Structure 1
Amino acid sequence: MRDPYDTEALRASTLSAWTDSPTRLREDAATEADLVRGGYRDRLLTELAQNAADAAARAGVAGRMRVWVSGRDLHVANTGAPLDLGGVHALTALRVSAKTSGVGRFGVGFTAVRSVSEEIEFRSTAGGVHFSGARTRSVLTDAGLDVPDAGVPVLRLVWPAEEPPAVGFSSEIILRDVEVPGLLDAMRAEAIDLLLELESLVSIEIGEDRFERTIEGEGLETVKVGDLEWWQFRTAHARWLVPVSDGVPTVVTSDVLRAPTRSDEELSLPVLVVADVQMQPDRRRVLPGAHLERVAGGYGEMIASFPARFRTRLVPVPGFPRSEVDGILREQVLRESVSARWLPSVTGENLIPSRAMVLPGLTDELGELLADVFPDLVRAALSGPRHTGALAAVDVHRIGLAGLAEMLTGIDREPRWWGRLYDALTPLVTDGVAAEELAALPVPLSDGRTITGPRTAVLGAGVSGVGSVQWARLVHPDAVSPLLSRLGAVEATATDLLSDTALEALLEDLDWDDSDAVGDTVTSVLALAASAGELPSWIGSLPLEDSDGELRAADELLLPDAPLAGLLVEDSPFGLVADSVVAHYGPAALRAVGVGWGFGTVTDDLPTGPDHDLDEEDSWWASLAEDPAVLTAVRDLDLVDEQRWPDALTQLMSDPATRAAVQARDGYTAWWLRTHARIDGERLGSYRAPSDFTFAGLLDPLDHPNADDVAAALAPGSCDSAWFTGLVLSRLADPSRSPTPAVITRAHRLVADAVTSGRVELDELDAPTKVRAVSGRLVDPPDAIVLDRPWCVAAVPADIAILSSMDTASSLASILDVRTASESIDAEVVGMGRVSSWDREPGAVLACAEMGVELPVGQVVVHRELVVRLSGAVEGEHHLAWWVAVDGTTHCAQSWERPRGR
């Protein structure tokens, strides 16, 4: 048999050593047994794959490996360099390796075959060898040596083999009489890891299953084995792999150091690492003194090669190391992660984590705004909760909303930028705590200043194009955002801003000689006034240029075409506002601050006294029974030209505000008009509304298109004052007047009511020289009689009778200085009547029912014909329907009975 490796000499040498030193035999047997039971247990495929990878690397070919079963024999074939003499020597020497490079630095790895078989054949294209437990025992017996207790050292004696390897392979190892069940399944589970670890191998076939590895790309490579995928990055002393599923890398929760194949050194790194590390002979543990620190070199570059959104997954999160090696590697990896430039910023550049800062909850919109302000800010995609632990592990500085607000202090940006910033911050303000953290947020104002904190700022509601507002912290319109309201800024309308007492103080202290200050104030106020509602009266102190180029208070000026201008007296204190001011700001804004168009008004809630600078206000206030709840009055009525009052009334009724004031009868305006306004020389209060006939014939109706609308400013429907009561008395005595009997009677009743009720004192009235009888005839007071008893009505002639009401007749008699009927007439009933009672007289019952009055109670004397003899102011016998004697007896004529047939 051909023996290219001179195995016979090798056997002789080994046997001689054993014969010379039986102890050596026992040592070799024990060593082989220890390796099988310890260092190389469960590593059969791993060790053979490492040898196959070395063979492929030496031959410079893509390594292929095939495993199959034939009966009870296990076959393992590989491509690459064939077996050579040095390899045979390494196979037979338990402590020697012929390898000068590659993953297997020790030949002892082949010992793994002994874990499954004692009969091993190594076929190679250059010649094979055979190891046999049975033949080794036979040799020991022939040499007179005892078989050691540990068993025979099968791999120390080698014989030549003639069979070539399987076609297509350079080497084939055959393990005889192997317990096959389950063995191939275990190898299949190892195959994928081996293809990742041993780059010289590109495929492994186990039975009918083929595992093949491909690598694509540069830098961050894509490694695929079947349907499985990894991203791989190479550094000087390691390869780093991360499993990928659907394009998303998956963090490794636990693994072991691979050097290059799996060791027993447990790791907790988030990636797989295949490192160039010195290992102990069995490759299960790191060799003491191995340079582990260099393994992590370039880890930061690896992180930077990954898509930005996945990079934090590669940072080891804090935890207890799984081994001493794990602790060393974690520390070095973290050091690399902290100091390398890989963390994406809002600008798109990579940051060194230890110099970066993160704002939790940062959005893309907010990040875009802050990019040019804080370039060291971590991008939004990495600022969420899932990245918090990783960023903390690499010492990224965490800033909250309070820190951001502080950092923004002093930043100079356009108001529009601030407005966008507030909108972008809104999603981060989820509760009161977050709002409190932004209490110091800078806020740009309309006057160009920037203040700290929104709580003292004012938001213009519906206010735009205003410019500066010196008296209020008005937020610039371009910076307005709903967030500022949530942070405490107060919303204010143009009306609110122009009603601010700070503006009142500003106007009081304003130096009219300071043209810049005046110009700024006027511009600010009038820009707001165009959209304002009702404003306080003090706003009228705003200085404006008049038609003569002088400054005057707004409420002392009229618009050039104001209707009021043609109604006032020639020496009116009002001037005209300059045309240029009107052209620049518009009539609406000027009218809002008090520049006159029509009549101005004064409004005061809960006024405390006559302190509103109104004409005759004291007199009106004194006429009130109690203080008004609200004062609304028209100003400057005393400046109207008396000849222009008809036009003035038209103007007053054209404005809703002044119209309402005129129509409030108890208000100042209606009172003043009744008392002081004159038309055709007569006080307005002496005219009646055309629709009011209370004093028709005595008072003239106002001839005006709005006469009925201004009724509150005309004569009342009662005698409410001494002046009006005297006017009614004088009109009753006026021979040019022709009131009807009903008006005369009503007027007398209202005059009497005024005195009886106490509204008018008797001594406030002058007795008339003539009095008006019911018939309308004017008579001298001594000739007139005030009817104070209803039974006297039929007895006193209408030409001298004065009628009001029986209850107030005595008061009317005193007012007119006229006698009453009861005082001036004596009466005697002529003849006897029938004494009866009211309830016994059917005629009385029917008559009361017809008139709708209650039936009297008591005695009545019924006369067939009632004749009463009168004396005094009225004399003669009179046929009457009824009479009440002095003693209280009622006499009546039987004529109350209704005629038959009615």
Structure 2
Amino acid sequence: MTDPFGAESLRAATLVAWASSPTRLREDAATESDLVRGGYRDRVLTELAQNAADAAARAGVPGRLDVRIGVGGLHIANVGAPLDESGVQALSALRVSGKTEGVGRFGVGFTAVLAIGDEVEVRSTSGSIAFSAARTGAEVEQAGIDPPESGVPVLRLVWATDAPPASGFDTEVVIAPRAGVDLDDVLTAMRGEATDILLELTALQSIRIGGDEFVRTERDLGGGLTEVTVGDGVWWQFTAPSARWLVPVSGGSVVPVAGDVLRAPTRTDEELTLPALVVASADLQPDRRRILPGAAIAHLANGYADFVAALPESQRTALVPLPGFAAGAVDEQLRESVLRELVDHPWLPGADGELLRPRDAAVLPGATADLLEILTDAVPGLVSPELSGQADARALAAVGVHRIGLARLAELLAGQDRAPEWWGRLYEALTPLVIDALAVEELSAIPVPLADGRTVTGPRTVVLGEGVGGAGVDWVRLVDPAASHPLLARLGAAQVGALDVLSDPALRDRIEALWDDEGDADELAAAVLPLVAEVSTGPLPTWLGGLPLPDMFGELQAADELLLPGAPLADVLASESPFATVADRVVEEYGAEALRALGVGWGFAVLRAELPTGPDHDLDDESDWWATLSDDPELLVAVRDLDLVDPDRWPEALTLLASDPETAALLADRDGYSAWWLRRHAGVGGVPLAALRSPDDPTFDGLLDPLDHPHADALSGALAADRIERTETAELLLDRLADPQRTPAPAVIARTHRLLAEATAAGVLDLEALSPPTRVRAISGAVVDAGDAIVLDRPWIASVVPADRLVVGDLASAGALADLLDVAPSSEAVRGEVLGTGRAAEWVREPGAVLASVTTGRPLPAGEVVVHDALTVRLSGAVSGDTAVPWWVDEAGRTHVDAGRLDPGVAGAW
């Protein structure tokens, strides 16, 4: 048997030491026992894997470790540098390691194998050795040394063997299990450690445990990041100056570690709460479970920011340690170092594409990519949108990133000189962030660009109007059209249309100022007229007609005192009319429709005033018309400038009025100003319209002439009514009744007298302004002297007064007619005495009366009646003589009837 490592001499030296110092034996036994039960408990695979990794590194080959149950017990084989003399010395020294590089080469960690058995072989291609508790005990006894009560140390005495390692491997450790050790359970536990060991020991490429193989593969991801795969597990690894950092990956996203331990390089007992695994060199206690007191570890965080920066932007905050309780002093120190590293180094993706240090960065919660793109050069240091969500808020706060709220954003934007289009894009991008009343309030001071070029603070002071903006619209705080956005309405801006802008009192002040030579009339017209063209509903304020516009001679005139070229209104106006013609260039630039809407004339203009309170609208005779009203109207609508019509051009003017639907509607309103004014002042052929009737109105046929005009039917409100409304009409009708050239029908005569009497009774007429006529019209059509005429006020007298003297209206208003005409009523002018006594009877008992009632359909009177065979009345007064009459009512109120004329309709009417 060969002994390449001098095992026999090593064994002899140790026995001499024990013999010369029994205490040394007890110390070795106690030390080995402590290592097995303490520092290296449950670390068999870890310690042997470290040896395997070191051997592979020394040989420069990918490390392989094979663990299996075979003949003689548990076999752990590896490739790499074989066992050498220094290794054998280290294995048998307990205190001395042959390590010159790597993580541990046959040092005290080998004692971990004793947790499984105390019969151990180390087989290698360079030579093999064995350790045995039984053989050591025999050697101690043979040397006459008293063994310790706890038993002899196993790994102090070494024997050379000839057993080779397993085929394909350079070194193999064989452990014979002691009684009670279940090797299947040992393999199961080792399988749970294999993945961690492959992550920790980069010199190892694979570990086979029984029939299961664990293989580590690596793929360069660029930027210092490596993808490490072991079985189904994936990690991203980054090698920093003082440590390797690994984080699990699932579905392409990092999965922060919930809790782990410091790996130096294999697992220690120093618990950590960092979100990534750390594998580093550190000063450890001999059992490699704890950091040496006072050992420096802060430097391990160096480069952690580079690790985070190598990750995809959206995943970087996942590796920021969040606030929480540290697991211990080492964890606390390392967490603080990592946070300082993150705070002071650039790794946060900025909205501008640059990396930011958290202490220089700011986050706008919920910001989108569009919003941050807009804000990039306006608010420096903003974090990219991928890290601006709620999920990243705690991590960003942990590294001191400043949080910008909407209110602060509004402050930062103050004073920004930006194009309106920029502001419009900003409002669009801000919209998703304005989700409640608080957000609305926070943005209350955001700048808003106006159409006049100014930028003001706060949407609540501005108005929005689609299609109503222009450079000259400066009398309202109108948002520039390029910046107009619905968000501004949510933030308090008022929504207006062209009509609202044109109705603003500030514009009225601007127009009035122009007449005092304050301002540029052309500029204001250029702002106002496009707005006028936009108004599709609702009347414009009448004061807009005061806007100065140039006439054809270049002189400024109020728009409502100008006419369009070729306006038909010009043909009917008097020569002294103040109207001029608007300049052709104005028509070409703004269009006739806009000018007409503003008040530039084509036809007659219409004035509109809501809730007027008095006659202050510059209408001719407006006060007289207002006096006819019982109450102020809610809306005044009237045709303007009727008083400027040439009296000889009224037929044409009426055609113009009737042809325009707007003015035609006013002519039909008899009580409105327009029709009222026309009745008073307009005329055709020298005849006032009030003296003309509508052709289809027969009320005063033969007395008033019909209007001869093609639009007479549309002018009814401006013509004589079918009633008498004023004293002048009554005077005209009385004159026409007295005119023998007029030949009204008896029905017209009676109707006219009735209407005259009703107007008199109603107090419509001013009787003091009327002179009683000297001649009146009798029911026969004859014109007679008023002194000879009699107004019928008693029906029975009609049979005794000649028709040529009898003036007939309505019996109910006959008294008022007699007063108006100063003509005696028939009840005063004629007296009648019934001759003969007759026969007293009742209407219901007279067969003739009943028969007449049935055949004529007239009701049968109630009460008494005096029946005469021949009824004769002796008349006196205006008519005299004895006269036969059909019926009469005497002064006592009794009705007398001729027996041959028992007509109930005669007496019954009375």
Class of the TM-score when normalised by the shorter of the 2 chains: over 0.9
Q: 2:758 aligns with which of 753, 756, 759?
A: 753
Amino acid at match of 2:512: E
Equivalent residue, structure 1, for 2:190: 187
Q: Return 802-811 or 84-93, whichever deviates more.
A: 802-811
Q: How much does 1:858 deviate?
A: 2.4
Does the 8 Å contact 1:470/1:521 carry over to 2?
no
Deviates more, 1:846-855 or 1:480-489: 846-855
**Matches for 1:84-123 after TM superposition, within 5 Å:** 84-104=84-104, 107-123=107-123
Match of 1:576 in 2: 581
The one-letter code of the counterpart of 1:581 is V
Deviations 1:427-479 (A, max 9, x none): 11111110111111111111111111111111114425x32212111111111
Cα drift, residue 590 of structure 1: 2.0
The residue type equivalent to 1:555 in the other structure is D
Distance 1:436 1:105 in 2: 69
Q: What corresponds to 2:509 in structure 1?
A: 505
- CA distance 1:143–1:667, change in 2 (3 Å): same
Residue of structure 1 in register with 2:353 after alignment: 348
* Residue 644 of structure 1: aligned partner: 649
1:74-114 superposed Cα distances (whole Å, 9 cap, x missing partner): 11111111111100000011111001111127700101001
Q: Does 1:214 align with 2:217?
A: yes
Counterpart mapping for 1:725-764 below 5 A: 725-764=730-769
Determine the structure 2 residue equivalent to 1:612: 617
| Distance in 1 (alpha carbons) for counterparts of 2:226 and 2:727 | 111
Rounded to whole Å, the distance in 1 between the matches of 2:515 and 2:770 is 56
Tell me, what secondary structure is at the counterpart of 1:154?
Answer: coil
Name the structure 2 match of 1:471: 475
The residue identity in structure 1 corresponding to 2:830 is I
Q: 2:373 aligns with which of 342, 358, 368?
A: 368
How far the C-alpha of 1:17 sits from its partner, in A, is: 1.1
In the other structure, the counterpart of 1:720 is 725
| Counterpart residue number, 1:284 | 289
| Residue in structure 2 matching 1:518, options 517, 521, 526 | 521
Distance 1:898 1:752, change over 3 A: closer
Q: Which amino acid aligns with 1:782?
A: G
CA distance in 2, matches of 1:642, 1:711: 20
Shift of 1:189: 0.6
Q: CA deviation at 1:517?
A: 2.6
1:773-811 CA distances to partner (integer Å, 9 max, x unpaired)? 112111111222111012223333322221111111111
Counterpart code for 1:248: S
Residue matched to 1:198? 201
Q: Go from structure 1 to structure 2 and tell me whether the alpha carbon gap of 1:606 and 1:195 turns closer, same or farther (over 3 Å shift).
A: same
Contact 2:53 2:201 (8 Å CA) reproduced: yes
Tell me the CA shift for residue 852 of structure 1: 6.3
Q: Aligned equivalents of 1:382 and 1:871: distance in 2?
A: 122
CA contact (8 A) 2:514 2:548 kept: no
Correspondence 1:130-529 to 2 at 5 A: 130-177=130-177, 178-217=181-220, 218=222, 219-464=224-469, 466-510=470-514, 513=517, 517-529=520-532
- Given the alignment, which residue of 816, 819, 823 partners 1:814? 819
Partners of 2:65 and 2:330 in 1: how far apart?
32
Q: Which residue number corresponds to residue 75 of structure 2?
A: 75
Counterpart CA distance in 2 for 1:628 and 1:852 is: 49
The yes-or-no answer on 1:589 pairing with 2:598 is: no
Q: Evaluate the alpha carbon distance shift between residue 603 and residue 847 of structure 1 in structure 2; reply closer, same or farther with a 3 A threshold.
A: farther
Contact 2:66 2:209 in 1 (8 A): yes
Call closer, same or farther: CA 1:151–1:796 in 2, change over 3 Å. farther
Contact 2:264 2:279 in 1 (8 A): yes
Q: Count how many residue pairs are aligned between Structure 1 and Structure 2.
A: 897
CA distances 1:260-307 after superposition (whole Å, capped 9, x unpaired): 111111111111111122211111111223221211111111111111
Is the 8 Å Cα contact of residues 358 and 383 (structure 1) preserved in structure 2?
Answer: yes
Change beyond 3 A, Cα 1:206–1:844: farther
Secondary structure at 2:199's aligned position in 1?
helix
Q: Is the 8 A contact 2:466 2:481 kept in 1?
A: no
How far off is 1:191 after superposition? Answer: 0.3
DSSP-derived class of the 2:271 partner? strand
| Conserved? CA contact 2:605–2:639, under 8 Å | yes
1:673-692 matches, within 5 Å, as 673-692=678-697
Whole-angstrom CA distance in 2 between matches of 1:601 and 1:885: 64
Question: 1:496: Cα distance to partner?
Answer: 1.1
Q: Distance in 2 between matches of 1:580 and 1:70?
A: 112
TM-superposed CA distance for 1:641, in Å, is: 0.4
Per-residue CA distance 1:833-861 (angstroms, 9 max, x = gap): 32122343455456556666664332211
Alpha carbons of 1:104 and 1:231: their partners in 2 closer, same or farther (altered >3 Å)? same
TM-score, with normalisation over the residues of structure 1?
0.97
Q: Distance in 2 between matches of 1:549 and 1:81?
A: 110
How far did 1:570 drift?
0.4
Give the letter for the 1:307 counterpart.
Answer: P
Whether the 8 Å contact between 2:364 and 2:403 is mirrored in structure 1 is yes
3-state SS of paired residue (1:222): strand
How far does residue 358 in structure 1 lie from its aligned partner after superposition? 0.8
Instruction: Please give the secondary structure, in 2, of the residue aligned with 1:283.
Output: coil
The 1-side partners of 2:597 and 2:124 are apart by 110
Question: Aligned-pair distance for 1:562?
Answer: 1.5
Partners of 2:424 and 2:484 within 8 A in 1: yes
Structure 2: runs of 5+ lacking an equivalent: 905-910
Distance 1:606 1:529 in 2: 23
Closer, same or farther in 2 for the Cα pair 1:281/1:854, shift >3 Å? farther
**Cα deviation per residue 1:497-552 (whole Å; 9 max; x = unaligned)?**
111111112222236646x6323222111221222342222222222111111122
Mapped partners of 2:282, 2:747: distance in 1:
130
CA distance in 2, matches of 1:43, 1:854: 136
> Match of 1:793, as an amino acid?
A
Aligned to 1:260, the other structure's residue is in SS state coil
CA deviations on 1:347-391 (whole Å, 9 max, x unpaired) are 222112211111111011111211232342111111000000111
SS in structure 2 of the partner of residue 588 of structure 1: helix
Q: Deviations over 1:404-432 (max 9, x none)?
A: 11111121221111111111111111111
Contact map agreement 1:883 1:891 (CA 8 A) in 2: yes
Match of 2:908 in 1: none
**C-alpha displacement of 1:576:** 1.2
Map residues 860-879 of structure 1 onto 2, 5 A cutoff.
860-879=865-884
Q: Distance in 2 between matches of 1:390 and 1:19?
A: 65
Q: Distance in 1 between matches of 2:110 and 2:259?
A: 29
**Distance in structure 2 (CA, Å) of the matches to 1:585 and 1:826:** 82
Unaligned runs of 5+ in 1: none
Identity of aligned residues (%): 58
| Range with greater deviation from structure 2 (857-866 or 631-640) | 857-866
Alpha carbons 1:341, 1:351 under 8 Å: kept = yes
Work out whether residues 118 and 154 of structure 1, in 8 Å CA contact, stay in contact via their aligned partners in 2. yes
- Distance in 2, matches of 1:496 and 1:851, equals 70
Which amino acid is the alignment partner of residue 250 of structure 1? V
Q: Which amino acid aligns with 1:17?
A: A
The structure-2 alpha-carbon separation of the partners of 1:486 and 1:847, relative to structure 1 and needing over 3 Å to count, comes to farther
CA contact (8 A) 1:512 1:518 kept: no
- Indicate the SS of the match to 1:610: coil
Displacement, 1:72? Answer: 6.9
| C-alpha distance 835-324 of structure 1, shift in aligned 2 (>3 A) | same
The alignment's TM-score, normalised by the length of structure 2, stands at 0.96
Contact 1:786 1:818 in 2 (8 A): yes
Report deviation, 1:495: 1.2
Amino acid in the other structure paired with 2:430: L
